[in-house]
Amino acid sequence: MLKVTSYNMRKAVGTDRRRRPERTLEVLREIDADIVALQEADRRFGRREAVLTPHLLSEHSDYQAVPLSVRAHSMGWHGNVLLVRRDAQILDAEVIHLPALEPRGAVVADLRVGGRAVRVVGMHLDLSGLWRRRQAHAIMAHLDATARPLPTVLMGDLNEWWSAAGCLRDFGRCFTLAETGPSFHARRPVGKLDRIMVSSDVAIGDCGVHDSMAARTASDHLPIWAELRL
C-alpha cells in the first residue's frame, strides 16, 4: 500500500496566527505518508521564499522535496510542493502552467516508491468556478500528452464545494475520487475543498481527514490522506 496526503499548509500560519513551520512538520510526522502534496508552501510576495527550508526538512523530517528549479528561493511552483521519502527515486518532475487571472500552477512528478512507479500531480485551483474548469482541462491535457502512461494520483486544494459539479465533474470522467471527508475550516470542518483522485489502475483503500490537536492549529485546512494500491 502507498499512503499519500494533501495539505494546504497556509504558509505555516496557524489558526493562532503564528507562523510555525515546525508545527507543519509535526502534522506530517503524525500522518506518516509516503508522498505529500503541499499547497501554499511558499511565501506569497517578494522572493516567494520556501517556508519549509531544506534545513528544516533535513533536521525535522524524513522527506525530500521534488526539485523543480523554477525560482531560486522557492521550493515549489506557485506554492505547490511535492515531498517524498528520502529513499524514493525521482524519475522526472516539471511544472504545469495553468490558465488563471491570478498566479496558479500545478506540479507533476514521476516517482519510484517501493519499487513501483507512480505519477503524482499537486495542485491548488482557482476560487472562480470557470477558471477551475479551465485549469482542470489544462491538467488533464498535460497528462494525456505524456508519452509514458503511469498509475496517476492527483491531489490538492481544488476549492470546489460540490463533487458532482464543476471541475470535479470534469476530473470524474477519468479519475476516481477518494471519499476523504470535509477538511475546511480546520476548527469546524464543513467543506470538502481538498481532494485526492486516482486513475483507473489505482485502487483506493482507507482514506480520511487527519484531525489532531496539532492539525487543528497548524493551518485553516486539515490534511487529507488515502492508502492506495497500484
Query: Domain limits of the chain?
Result: 2-229
Residue with cell 494525456: 144
Q: Report the side by side order of strands in the sheet with 203-209.
A: 63-65, 81-85, 35-39, 2-8, 224-229, 203-209
Q: In the predicted model, is pLDDT for residue 22 greater than 70?
A: yes
For residue range 27-85, list pLDDT tens digits in order.
Answer: 999 999 999 999 999 876 656 788 898 889 999 999 999 998 666 567 788 999 999 99
pLDDT at 165: 86
Q: What share of the chain is helix, strand, coil (3-state, %, to 5)?
A: 20, 35, 45
Cα-based angle 29, 35, 40 (whole degrees, multiple of 5): 80
Q: In the predicted model, is pLDDT for residue 178 greater than 90?
A: yes
CATH number of 2-229: 3.40.50.2300, 3.60.10.10, 3.40.50.720, 3.90.1150.10? 3.60.10.10
Lowest mean pLDDT across 54-63, 201-210, 216-225: 54-63
pLDDT at 103: 80
DSSP lists the bridge partners of residue 13 as 19
pLDDT at 71: 65
pLDDT at 44: 64
